[in-house]
Amino acid sequence: MKSCLLFSPLFLLILLVTPFYNAIAQKKSLDQKVDSVLRLMTLDEKIGQMNQYNGDWAATGPITKDGDKQEQIKKGMLGSMLNVTGTDHTRTLQQLAMQSRMKIPLLFGQDIVHGYRTIFPIPLAEAASWDLPAIELSARVAATEGAAAGIHWTFAPMVDIARDPRWGRVMEGAGEDTYLGSLIAAARVKGFQGKGLGNTDAMMACAKHFAAYGAAVAGRDYNSVDMSNRQLLETYLPPFEAAAKAGAATFMNSFNDLNGVPASGNAYLQRTILKGQWGFKGFVVSDWGSIGEMINHGFVKDNYEAAMAAANAGSDMDMESRSYIQNLAKLVKEGKVKIAVIDDAVKRILRKKFEMGLFDDPFRFCNEARENEQSNNPAHITAAREVAKKSIVLLKNEKQLLPLSKDVKNIALIGPFVKAKSDNLGFWSYDWPDDTARIVTLWEGVKSKLAAGSNVLYAKGCEIKDTSRAGFSEAVAAAMQADVVVMTVGEARDMTGEAKSRSVIRLPGVQEELVKAIVATGKPVVVLMSAGRPLVFNWIADNVPAIVYTWWLGTQAGNAIADVLFGDYNPSAKLPISFPRTEGQIPIYYNYYNTGRPAKNDSDLNYVSSYIDLPNSPKYPFGFGLSYTSFSYGDIELSKPVFKPTEKLVVKCTVINTGNYDGEETVQLYIRDLVGSVVRPVKELKGFKKIQLKKGASTTVEFILTANDLRFYNDKLQYIFEPGDFKVFVGGSSASVKEAGFTLVK
Ligand code: GLC
């Protein structure tokens, strides 16, 4: 019988191995290409690749004025520049690089953190959406616009876990939770890198700041960080590992010292964990000047020692400190840094340049037509509005004051943000002269919703930071003429972000007094909070019937807020970070350890872990957020009360929409390991599902738990699960849950 080759084992084997062979062949050819360039390079040219200077388009750190950068590019003394933007500028500098002996293309990097021309909500706001596809879309649009402008590499996502809202960079990450932060880190990396490096709408992602920068003592930016390696591994590193697994092309180290060793000179972080245990094949760039700053840390004596410590610890590229370009050649000649260290760093950098297709065509990202098209893509504006409205958190809505009617006769918009433009963009956004028209203010967003006969009154009332009360009377007069008042108060755009730590995180100026004056009129008041961090605003929280946290929502802020205010979008966001009652509570987070003397409730003061002047609980807990409708949770059903490590546990809970609006709920799953070889948090987020429910409808939400979901780092730094009793919680907030118990056996 004629053998049918098609189904012969040999043919099937060939089918199976071909993709792997191709991948290995591609990798081999990429490595061969890299090696073929490396072997032609002089030591100075290799060091040039490890050197990155700021362009002069914008400065995101202290500027060093020296030398002619264009001359240095022509001599091959620069491998990358940051803060150069636009196809015209990048083309000009790339042309200079092509005049160098090796003609190695430059990499252009920039902080495109939450949008480039179309600004999306700040990352902390996006995290409140718990909507991973939306978060990925935001990064995808940012990369499309940035890559079209000639930029190859974004210094994002920032994946630092932050439990201290005094720290200004809390706005840049995904909040306090490791599980949520890890999923968001991966989503952002995928968004930025799209279908893969080499596509002209893909940018290299950069997971930062490696590591534990968000745990700065006292929430003071750039301050020291000291924690056990166990805490580091369990709480702060997983989002970085998730970013690496998602294929992040690069990492950026951090300014802080960690357990006495600055991150830029920290071989445990960069070599043992990142490049060793995680097998990271990309490259690590230092943060602005951080290599040279090891002198200030008192970790090295001078730039010579700084360059030695950083290179040997695995910092592959030196951003702006000039330590490498001024010292590495001498260090190699003196045997203090082996040429193998230099070659490894340069190969990592060259590999990314090959993957980006820059050796094939150094100008492939310099396409002006694409730049114009993507800088004005209406689909991006639509996306920005979609993501923004999903990021808005409804904190309070007494007597269903919201949503407002579009037929409202007289509405007063009061506060310093009503007609604000760039204050909607937040930190890490750029001012494009012709773009302010693109930013939709609250005033414009509300006006676009109202029926023709509605009368919209306006009064600024006060400035954001100024202490003048001169505008109060006009604001009170406007309120007196209105049927409802919408106030918008908050932080100026430069009050949260890098180097913007605040010891008191309350409304600046006299804004709270303005709110009090308007509430005193007796009119129904809605307050919108515009900020980059959790603020303390207890009087407003206790005395205003409706409160909406609008963060900094970007280009489409006014439209997104109006969508929520008038019910065209039912708010669904949930807080990704705890809101303290006062600064004295900080750090405050939901996944705390129980202690030996846990307080039974907020009023328990009987020799327990509590304050005599304040409840322990936060003002608003992690995972909290209201809807215009309401959801009720049935009892938890478990597939079995006892399960083995080889089995799965099915956790079910029925959720009913008991209100009058269709709505979306983020159903959260937490566990608690009741007894561990190290103490375990009272709750740990281990899953969530976003469900859409029509009013009156119900659905059963199902989660699968495995023994691996119960793992933690023990005191030997082993990542293990331990048999024992557990609790499982399901609810719409970390503080409002149904619970059940189960046991994991050996
Ligand atoms: C800044 C920031 C970092 C940023 C870099 C380049 O100091 O710490 O997040 O990517 O410098 O702007």
Over residues 283-292, the mean pLDDT reads 98
Task: Give the rounded percent of residues in the chain with a pLDDT score beyond 70.
Answer: 96
What digits encode the pLDDT tens for the residues 176-191? 999 999 999 999 999 9
Domain ranges of the chain: 387-585, 631-744
Name the DSSP letter for residue 260.
T
What digits encode the pLDDT tens for the residues 121-177? 999 999 999 999 999 999 999 999 999 999 999 999 999 999 999 999 999 999 999
Q: Round to whole Å and give the CA distance between 397 and 528.
A: 12
Phi, psi dihedrals of residue 60, rounded to the nearest 5°: -120, 30
Please name the residues in contact with 22: beta carbons below 8 A apart, sequence gap of 6 or more.
none
Res 1: pLDDT:
40
Q: Round to whole Å and give the CA distance between 339 and 46.
A: 10
Q: Round to whole Å and give the CA distance between 148 and 154.
A: 13
**CA-61 nearest atom, ligand 1:** 7
**CA-60 nearest atom, ligand 1:** 12
Catalytic residues, which ones? 287
Of all protein residues, whose CA lies closest to atom 3 belonging to ligand 1? 287
pLDDT bucket at 66, cuts 50 / 70 / 90 = low
What digits encode the pLDDT tens for the residues 288-322? 999 999 999 999 999 999 999 999 999 999 999 99
Q: Round to whole Å and give the CA distance between 594 and 684.
A: 13
Mutation test residue for ligand 1: of 114, 169, 288, 317, the one with most atoms within 8 Å of CB: 288
Task: Give the rounded percent of residues in the chain with a pLDDT score beyond 90.
Answer: 92
* Beta-strand relationship, 642-643 and 736-744: parallel
Over residues 723-733, the mean pLDDT reads 98
Spatial strand order in the sheet of 455-459? 393-397, 546-549, 525-530, 484-490, 410-414, 455-459
The hierarchical CATH code for the domain 631-744 is 2.60.40.10
pLDDT bucket at 376, cuts 50 / 70 / 90 = confident
User: Is the domain 387-585 a CATH 1.10.8.50 member?
Assistant: no
Q: What is the CB < 6 Å shell around ligand 1?
A: 60-61, 82, 111, 155, 208, 287-288, 498
pTM: 0.96
SS3 338: coil
What digits encode the pLDDT tens for the residues 483-537? 999 999 999 999 999 999 999 999 999 999 999 999 999 999 999 999 999 999 9
pLDDT bucket at 2, cuts 50 / 70 / 90 = very low
Over residues 405-428, the mean pLDDT reads 96
Res 10: pLDDT:
72
State the residue for tokens 């979306």: 664
Of all protein residues, whose CA lies closest to atom 8 belonging to ligand 1? 287
Please name the residues in contact with 174: beta carbons below 8 A apart, sequence gap of 6 or more.
123, 124, 127, 159, 180, 181, 184, 185, 239, 576
User: How many angstroms does the Cα of residue 433 sit away from the middle of ligand 1?
Assistant: 23
Angle at 164 between CA 533 and CA 673, to 5 degrees: 120
